[in-house]
Chains A and B, each alone.
Chain A
């Protein structure tokens, strides 16, 4: 009888909490639409799910457990069984929830322009309203050199007197991954001047990170070079177009012809005000799908120019990108039209200078620490 009772009433034991950390999923190669998921499980069970490195979802602990099953490749049925074992829920209900969650996530990842609140039943969270346990993205300024002659970016700060080695950058990429940062952007200066750019992209991709490149596009005019970046898995390119330079435009065209997602950044200056619409039309003609816009001056006049450019870009069917580490990125169309623009610097992203100093964002000269010398948590705490 006692053995029957002990089998019926085994010792009380709660399930182990979900293991905090980063979980990564990439759609199979034969999937009709490729997509990529990063699930960052936090202490106590909630998580952040990053879809295609751009869409941020906040999951409650139950949703986290469901999403983890998806990311670990479990079938719907076995996921439901695992959930029912862990939670006080029937298997049937768990299966229903598992299916719904999969549909929500996969729809979000593969079908554009579906309103996630109205049509997928999600809630909305204000961007960056809550401080995450780690940023969503780390921008790595590999160099402040701007051209092969070694001219230094005028925005570069004088005290940046050296560039880190390949090994050091790899160490930083590893630190970022271990901290739960799923997305790396290589920027500069001109990052394509670093001969180890391909290696660094390959390294980050291999450990599971999404990688992006911000470049003036000149180097991409060399198709072989571009192909070498594509081969190691570079996910996206933002070409800071030098309008008057045909090499930059050629690099853009090459990138658009590749299978790497490519967008263009335009910095609106008083000098090019009269040619913005024409430039946008040309970009559409060559097949640019998305545009990032910023203004070099935060004057009323330039704000108006920026708004008009944004309107015109929409009428040309161009998507708007506003949160990549482009020049003058704080003066963007979204910041203009919101009462309280979301502040991603120091929360959603951080910026590493060529010598390892960490800033909240490009152009914000507040050193939070050095990523080679200081513990990551100290740097992250300093950004509060």
Chain B
């Protein structure tokens, strides 16, 4: 304890001396208005990093003379690092004295004066040793990256931050996997697309980020796209791509002159304190963030599209519509009235109806809206619980990605079909999966904007009123009767799409008039109460939801059934 008192006394004394130099405490203070980072993962396993940083220096601060940028590791070539300030080349590029590993850019005569804005661009052409074994799948390699961040005492305001990962050339769109966005990010997943070279890109964007938080982004892709020797064994989280101390902007040299005024005494005191602190640090072990990994299975395969819809938190009215379509396609029911929606069971009933289809058909028999609503809620409660049971022990995130990929592939096949016949057939076959798409309505309209559509064989059971308007067509193989050919009627594409979309919408609203209220009735049974939490937001990736399930909150129209162990 005596030693502690001495240190406190020393620190207080030092503080008293330093408070006579107020200018020093205000030396650097700036905002990073915009930060754009491109991370290129190259075929040889190296990483190319491009930064654009827009600084606004506070009017009361000193000029920004140096910018230090942290790097993922020491495996970079200083001669391939370039910088620009306001599009003028930066002459002084060197190893940072303050950030390790990192580089420094000396702005010299182009220092950003107080109150001014300057744009700094940096290109780090090549960093090696940045790929690691994927923790979840040995066939995949992973890269993680934290963009430069600054000490919170130096920066203020929001930062419009965009980080783009460019995956190695040749990686196909359905192969890579993104890692979840950092906590508090607007979306849990990045936007995806292709860059001008046709490389798959993941884009994370947050207009309200800040420049003092370490955000980590990551992606995985099949390791076959890079040489095997460049992929290292995984290292614990926290050792990957984390520039050690916060990067920063250097104290300007003119301030150092005033600092020297206090000369030897302060230096001696500082030296003793530094030695004591260093000695204390050396006695301690390095602290990596605590990390827990749970043993569990990956993708839960074998879910039906309707079960996948529950998993993907599809609005419940849409899920009910999917069940209706499923039952119609199987020949279990037909629509007798479109508005209000009434259906009747057909005989004989097909074999092997799913339990939720059986329950749905029973529920729809009741014509009293309140009773039917309650019965449909029970159908959904059972369905959600069933999916919960099936998912137990499997990865929610990986399974969600898997079914999203199936949905995308179903659309892709329809969109790429060479002829109207094939397109109609594929649309029919993949309907349950395409209905998982939140953009189902618009996409259906886009896909069938032109050309005729060969209406599916079950169309008459779904829209008896439109069958009479369909024109007979040439013979088209029927999907339900192999070996025979029947004539299926056609509809103009736009009419088909409009009928399909409005039909889905009206079926949904007819079954569930108030989606929120209906959903709340389901989720209060299916979703557990929130775990007790003091710091929920720090470990939840659900954007601060107060429930254990991302979508169990009142006010959203879905009911999730994720994971568990």
Does chain A bind chain B?
A: yes
Looking at the complex, which of B35-43, B159-167, B392-400, B497-505 is the stretch in contact with chain A? B392-400
B539 and A87: CB pair below 8 A? no
Q: Tell me if B418 counts as interface (CB < 8 A to partner A).
A: no
Distance between Cα atoms of A307 and B282 in the complex (Å):
58
Distance between Cα atoms of A14 and B355 in the complex (Å):
62
A12 and B292: CB pair below 8 A? no
Q: Tell me if A117 counts as interface (CB < 8 A to partner B).
A: yes
A307: chain B residues at CB < 8 Å are 302
**B107-134 CB contacts (< 8 Å) to partner A:** none
B8: min CB distance to chain A, Å: 13
B6 and A8: CB pair below 8 A? yes
Contact string against A for B residues 526-565, beta-carbon threshold 8 Å, 1 for contact and 0 otherwise: 0010011111001111100000111000000000001111
Distance between Cα atoms of A86 and B388 in the complex (Å):
42
Q: Tell me if A13 counts as interface (CB < 8 A to partner B).
A: yes
Q: Which residue of A lies closest to B180 (CB)?
A: A118
Partner of B548, one of A105, A111, A121, A126: A111
B562 and A87: CB pair below 8 A? no
B139: min CB distance to chain A, Å: 11
Q: Which residue of B lies closest to A76 (CB)?
A: B534
Contact string against A for B residues 389-410, beta-carbon threshold 8 Å, 1 for contact and 0 otherwise: 1101101111000000000000
Q: Tell me if A59 counts as interface (CB < 8 A to partner B).
A: yes
A100 and B538: CB pair below 8 A? yes
Q: Tell me if B386 counts as interface (CB < 8 A to partner A).
A: yes
B532: chain A residues at CB < 8 Å are 103, 107
Q: Tell me if A301 counts as interface (CB < 8 A to partner B).
A: no
**A259-297 CB contacts (< 8 Å) to partner B:** none
A99 and B287: CB pair below 8 A? no
Distance between Cα atoms of A282 and B183 in the complex (Å):
46
Distance between Cα atoms of A334 and B388 in the complex (Å):
15
A94: min CB distance to chain B, Å: 8
B89: min CB distance to chain A, Å: 39
A to B contact number (C-beta, < 8 Å):
207
A12 and B3: CB pair below 8 A? no
**A202-261 CB contacts (< 8 Å) to partner B:** none
Q: Tell me if A384 counts as interface (CB < 8 A to partner B).
A: no
A97 and B389: CB pair below 8 A? no
From known contacts A7-B3, A12-B283, A117-B563, infer whether A103 and B531 are also in contact, taking CB-CB under 8 Å: yes
A125 and B135: CB pair below 8 A? yes
- How big is chain A's contact interface, by range? 35 or more
B531 and A116: CB pair below 8 A? no
Distance between Cα atoms of A107 and B533 in the complex (Å):
9
A101 and B279: CB pair below 8 A? no
Q: Tell me if B264 counts as interface (CB < 8 A to partner A).
A: no
A88 and B294: CB pair below 8 A? no
From known contacts A87-B284, A119-B540, infer whether A59 and B535 are also in contact, taking CB-CB under 8 Å: no
Partner of B292, one of A114, A123, A128, A342: A123
B563: min CB distance to chain A, Å: 3
A87: chain B residues at CB < 8 Å are 284-287
**A129-155 CB contacts (< 8 Å) to partner B:** none
Partner of A315, one of B287, B355, B528: B355
B236 and A60: CB pair below 8 A? yes
Contact string against B for A residues 310-345, beta-carbon threshold 8 Å, 1 for contact and 0 otherwise: 011111011110000000000000100110001000
Q: Tell me if A58 counts as interface (CB < 8 A to partner B).
A: yes
Partner of A59, one of B282, B283, B291: B291
B279: chain A residues at CB < 8 Å are 8-10, 12
A88 and B286: CB pair below 8 A? yes
B300: chain A residues at CB < 8 Å are 337
**B246-299 CB contacts (< 8 Å) to partner A:** 272, 275-276, 279, 281-298
A119 and B542: CB pair below 8 A? yes
Q: Tell me if A55 counts as interface (CB < 8 A to partner B).
A: yes
Distance between Cα atoms of A61 and B292 in the complex (Å):
10
A271: min CB distance to chain B, Å: 23
Q: Tell me if B370 counts as interface (CB < 8 A to partner A).
A: no
Q: Tell me if A160 counts as interface (CB < 8 A to partner B).
A: no
A60 and B397: CB pair below 8 A? no
A113: min CB distance to chain B, Å: 4
B297 and A111: CB pair below 8 A? no
**A42-57 CB contacts (< 8 Å) to partner B:** 49, 54-57
- List 7 additional contacts besides A9-B276, A105-B292, A118-B563; criterion CB under 8 Å: A7-B2, A113-B562, A115-B397, A118-B562, A119-B540, A119-B548, A124-B295
Top 4 A-B residue pairs of the complex, sorted by shortest distance between their CB atoms = A115-B563, A63-B290, A113-B564, A87-B287
Q: Which residues of A come within 8 Å of B, CB atoms?
A: 4, 7-10, 12-15, 49, 54-63, 66, 85-89, 96-97, 99-101, 103-105, 107-108, 111-128, 307, 311-315, 317-320, 334, 337-338, 342
27 contacts between A and B (CB under 8 A): A9-B276, A12-B279, A15-B284, A54-B565, A56-B294, A57-B293, A58-B295, A60-B290, A85-B284, A86-B285, A97-B289, A99-B535, A100-B538, A103-B532, A103-B539, A105-B292, A115-B395, A115-B562, A115-B564, A116-B563, A119-B548, A123-B237, A125-B296, A126-B298, A317-B386, A337-B302, A338-B297
